[in-house]
Amino acid sequence: MPFNFNKCDIAGLVEIQPKMFGDDRGYFFECWSKRDYEEAGIAAPFVQDNQSSSVRGVLRGLHFQKTHPQGKLVRAIEGEVFDVAVDLRKGSATYARWHSVVLCGKKQNQFYIPPGFAHGFVVTSEKAIFAYKCTDFYYPNDEGGVIWNDSDIGIEWPDLGIDFILSEKDKLLPGLKEI
């Protein structure tokens, strides 16, 4: 199998490391295989791919969709990000717990986040190109979010020595208790 699947401490979250093959010309690797992912227990029906580009200190999140929750397979194509998933599944033993993974273009590691989680990341390199495979379509009227620095969640974001750069919308997201 050209992937190593590593389950995280919160049920459903998986970090994936593809096997890379490189020489003086560059590298090659499979970045997704329906068969291999299904064998590893990720039988997600991916329907949409998204990509973003951001500079150092840009923080995007913590986002989710309310009635059309999306599972996401995320990775940094270039650069490096500190990626976070927060468990918002009602009745979950790990509700409001978070898990982070450093995603890096050099390693091409991936993070699978099933439906029911809020997701966000901050760019730690000078620039990052970030890709998402999603299990449901994006519905603008279904957006939800939690403020990135909610003390009830307590995410330990990396100290970059600069203020994070957030969209106006993300600056106004409510706390966990408000959703």
12: containing domain:
3-178
Tokens describing residue 29: 């690797």
Structural domain total, the chain: 1
pLDDT, tens digit (0-9, with 9 covering 90-100), for 18-68:
999 999 999 899 999 999 999 999 998 999 999 999 999 999 999 999 999
H helical segments located in the chain: 34-39, 168-171
* CATH number of the domain to which 117 belongs: 2.60.120.10
Q: Side chain identity at 115, as an amino acid letter?
A: P
State the catalytic residue, choosing from 63, 99, 112, 119.
63
Active-site residue flag, 112: no
When pLDDT is averaged across residues 134-149 and rounded to a whole number, the result is 97
**What pTM does this model have?**
0.95
State the catalytic residue, choosing from 27, 68, 132, 138.
132
User: From CA 117, how far away is CA 89, in angstroms rounded?
Assistant: 7
